[in-house]
Structure 1
């Protein structure tokens, strides 16, 4: 959940620190007090589009910081691991600064990241829905993914199998398309890769050749230093009154001492061992000296060979291994172009086989989707009934596509009829704002359980409803909050009454500057605020009584759901 939020110099907010809790938190206040600005800040924290206009007038930058607590099994761990971000103590800190120039600096747990990475991580933590953003759930392009999410592991496994076969199928299509290009293009391509093939073949490369040549070049380039170092080392060890003589003398005397005192024998054996090792080392150094030979012509040959290899690297790969891989690839391509007809025939056979496999996997995926669409339809109807849309008819409509696609063979769109006798229409054509709000809540109630989102935010999604529908929406928002933290901006007193925590947003003009304040409301303050929401302006004994009744009713509902 979102635990702490800090906002500085953001729009009309000078400085604001908020702590949140589990369950449902409602934000209320007069229009223009800054409720939606707080949501805008959270949206930017989750990777939303930034702008210099967000920076408070006269300040250099806006700063937003949020602390989230996440359980160990949360999908955000996998995303953070993918980007090399460590999570300690089950906490994630998102931070975003926006300068007056419009540039953003984003950090996750102190690590500087791109906006794309912030958005990737933020989307696993925060789900924001506004009056107009609810249209995202009604985007027909997303319906197939929502259904797949609802189907869980069963659809996921089938889709994975389909995707694997689709990858092979798509690769074969690309190969066939490449071989089916016109003769002139194919001839030009063949000329080019044959030249490249011959150039690499002529070079007669061997793996690690460049590394071995560089090592030899280093020896030849530093021949004099190498010879002097070896000669000095050998002279220090071998010769009269040199290192080996003195170590040999020590060894002889220690052997005599060891015959007298057994405690000396261990030291004696160690010195003896070192003497023979030094003797072997001296012989090896002598052999190295005898084998050293300076060959300036060989150095020139190495330089030319390394230059040839580097030329090939610039054209065909950063290493000899990559050049050889490219060599193998164009060898196969030359073979396929030269024998194009037979290659096309072979590829067509493979494509036909892949199409059969893909058709079977696609049909299996479609069958599972239809099975789960029936369950989804039942659950949607149940949710709509609870929101006083019991006459509404929901349908997951399938239409087959002519071509295989990455996500299957299905075109899926959600349809609904909100009144008896009316034909089913796409969700996007649902006209009433209140119906859109209820439809979105019904979908969100179901899909939020499958998306694993930490914090769900509703920004005035209850617009256009009243009476018993308002009460139903309040109860639905509360039910979502029982398994995921919910922050909600609302003008409905029913939503405010059923919340677990009530924050009142107000603004103050001081020294000709507007500042936003947030006040957590206790019981009596909640009664007055809910009373204001009921009456609009004037608070009367009757509206206070109604507010108290709403709070009592909300308490009973919450108690019954425990």
Structure 2
């Protein structure tokens, strides 16, 4: 769960640090006080699209930092993800996310102190926090998003089938693209063949050997330093061999030590060691002599090597960083030349490969389709149950799954599978099923979202759920049902909720009030956790508006008492 959030110079927020608890935390306050800005800041912390507009006026950068407490089994999954992404290990079940946005629009992201990319921050952040606001409403109305909702509900069976389908889909699309490129433009292919033939001939005429550049560089180094090398090796030999030189002194030491060893046996091993070292040095001196006698300075050979290296360097600029890279490139070129030269035969072979891959892909897609159908039936029943609790008992919810015409073309084959998934509803008895976007009101969409989230929250494993005015368009007993539903969700995950409904606020385990004030001609947002008395006052304000009366306080206390009874059940 989110333990602490610090926001600095973000929008109208100068600086605020908020500590969070588990369960349901409700945020209320006047419109424009900054409630949604706090949610926007969390969105940026988990990898949302940044902008210089988020930076407070006259500030150089906005800073957002969040501390998360992670418990099993999420901890095990996150540790595996951190290891895969080469992030610092999670210590004591705590993750620290930090993001800075400059007034130039640039982002600086850190996870547990390590500088990382926005993409990695997003990948980690979205496993920790799930934000649901107006954008989620829009997603639910977009039919192409429905397959994602269904797959998330279905879990591992669909995930496994989708992964297997995805591997084949990638192979199929690559081979299909290759075939189309190979078939379409004959003039371009002819030009390509000429280019490849020229490249192959250029590399072939060079008659390269694997590792040749490294061998030539080593030989060049020896030739360029031959005089210095000769002097150094000859000097080493002269220091060892000759009258009054090193070996002669070692021999003297060896002979005298040999005589001493005949008197004292304790010197035998030392004598043997010195004797061995003498013969090793003698052998080394002979090797040094043989070596320096072979050293010659061959200026013609050096010029040949330099010319050859220059030729190789020209090839490297075109075809690879090393001779081995150039030879590998030549091998690929040779294969492509062969394919282009035997174009008709290759096209026929590749057509057969594409057809075989397509057949296998449809089989995998059909398996994925069957898994989705099983999940769809379960999702329909689960949604119906949730909607009845949200006073939509007459609503019929249907998950429609169609497969396209697989025989006529590839339009029905997508990276998501061969299915078109759409959520259909009938909100009143006797009405036909229609697309969700065509018949659902704002309040009904809010309840649909809440029903889906109630179900999906058990499958997704995120540590914190955020609802940004998900209760829009409802009131009365429906508002009470939504309040109870949100609190039930908080039994599985930490829930942060921005609301204008007193019923939801009464259900809060922690109630935070967001306000703003002017200070030195600047607007400052404040966040405070309300006491029991202050909570009653705030709920009274939410009930009555501007004027708070004894009656509204009584009503607020009744709502809080009712919420407390519900929590105890």
Provide the TM-score with structure 1 as the length reference: 0.94
Counterpart for residue 377 of structure 2? 374
Counterpart for residue 451 of structure 1? 460
1:124 alignment partner, SS class: helix
Query: For 2:340, which of 332, 337, 340 is the aligned residue?
Result: 337
Contact 1:60 1:100 in 2 (8 A): yes
Counterpart for residue 177 of structure 2? 174
Count of aligned positions: 560
Cα drift, residue 259 of structure 1: 4.0
Counterpart for residue 422 of structure 1? 431
Deviations 1:357-384 (A, max 9, x none): 2222221111111111111111111111
Cα drift, residue 471 of structure 1: 1.3
In 1, distance between residues paired with 2:41 and 2:178? 49
1:513 aligns with 2:522: yes
Deviations 1:406-463 (A, max 9, x none): 2211111222222223332223334411111111111112222222222211111112
Counterpart for residue 550 of structure 1? 559
Deviations 1:250-282 (A, max 9, x none): 333334434444444444343333333322322
Counterpart for residue 487 of structure 1? 496
Equivalent residue runs for 1:220-259 within 5 Å: 220-259=223-262
Question: Cα gap change, 1:53/1:173 in structure 2, threshold over 3 Å: closer, same or farther?
Answer: closer
Counterpart for residue 54 of structure 2? 54
Counterpart for residue 88 of structure 1? 90
1:394 aligns with 2:403: no
1:136 alignment partner, SS class: helix
Contact 1:33 1:505 in 2 (8 A): yes
Equivalent residue runs for 1:317-328 within 5 Å: 317-328=320-331
In 2, distance between residues paired with 1:264 and 1:553? 100
In 2, distance between residues paired with 1:423 and 1:522? 50
Contact 1:135 1:428 in 2 (8 A): no
Counterpart for residue 125 of structure 1? 128
Q: CA RMSD in A?
A: 2.1
Cα drift, residue 482 of structure 1: 1.8
Question: Cα gap change, 1:406/1:258 in structure 2, threshold over 3 Å: closer, same or farther?
Answer: farther
Deviations 1:311-360 (A, max 9, x none): 22211222223222222222122112222222222222222322222222
Counterpart for residue 279 of structure 1? 282
Cα drift, residue 391 of structure 1: 1.2
Question: Cα gap change, 1:231/1:103 in structure 2, threshold over 3 Å: closer, same or farther?
Answer: same
2:562 alignment partner, SS class: helix
Counterpart for residue 29 of structure 2? 29
In 1, distance between residues paired with 2:481 and 2:255? 102
Query: For 1:436, which of 430, 445, 450 is the aligned residue?
Result: 445
Deviates more, 1:175-184 or 1:206-215: 175-184
Contact 1:25 1:500 in 2 (8 A): yes
In 1, distance between residues paired with 2:435 and 2:55? 40
Provide the TM-score with structure 2 as the length reference: 0.93
In 2, distance between residues paired with 1:497 and 1:370? 40
In 2, distance between residues paired with 1:262 and 1:445? 91
Cα drift, residue 487 of structure 1: 0.9
Equivalent residue runs for 1:239-318 within 5 Å: 239-318=242-321
Contact 1:2 1:66 in 2 (8 A): yes
Cα drift, residue 284 of structure 1: 2.2
1:462 aligns with 2:464: no
Question: Cα gap change, 1:283/1:13 in structure 2, threshold over 3 Å: closer, same or farther?
Answer: same
Cα drift, residue 82 of structure 1: 4.1
In 2, distance between residues paired with 1:528 and 1:208? 82
In 1, distance between residues paired with 2:223 and 2:95? 56
Counterpart for residue 2 of structure 2? 2
Deviates more, 1:25-34 or 1:255-264: 255-264
In 2, distance between residues paired with 1:81 and 1:430? 47
Structure 1 stretches of 4+ with a deviation exceeding 6 A read none
1:209 aligns with 2:218: no
Deviates more, 1:41-50 or 1:257-266: 257-266
Query: For 2:105, which of 88, 102, 105 is the aligned residue?
Result: 102
Deviates more, 1:486-495 or 1:174-183: 174-183
1:502 alignment partner, SS class: strand
Deviations 1:129-161 (A, max 9, x none): 223442224432222233222222222222222
1:114 aligns with 2:123: no
Contact 1:155 1:368 in 2 (8 A): yes
In 2, distance between residues paired with 1:206 and 1:451? 56
Task: Provide structure 2 residue ranges, at least 5 long, that are not aligned to the other structure.
Answer: none
Contact 2:396 2:427 in 1 (8 A): yes
2:404 alignment partner, SS class: strand
Cα drift, residue 73 of structure 1: 4.8
Question: Cα gap change, 1:422/1:255 in structure 2, threshold over 3 Å: closer, same or farther?
Answer: farther
Question: Cα gap change, 1:495/1:256 in structure 2, threshold over 3 Å: closer, same or farther?
Answer: farther
Deviates more, 1:471-480 or 1:48-57: 48-57
Question: Cα gap change, 1:60/1:351 in structure 2, threshold over 3 Å: closer, same or farther?
Answer: closer
In 2, distance between residues paired with 1:346 and 1:49? 46
Contact 2:146 2:422 in 1 (8 A): yes
Question: Cα gap change, 1:229/1:382 in structure 2, threshold over 3 Å: closer, same or farther?
Answer: same
Deviates more, 1:458-467 or 1:156-165: 156-165
Cα drift, residue 112 of structure 1: 2.6
Question: Cα gap change, 1:271/1:382 in structure 2, threshold over 3 Å: closer, same or farther?
Answer: farther
Contact 1:131 1:463 in 2 (8 A): no
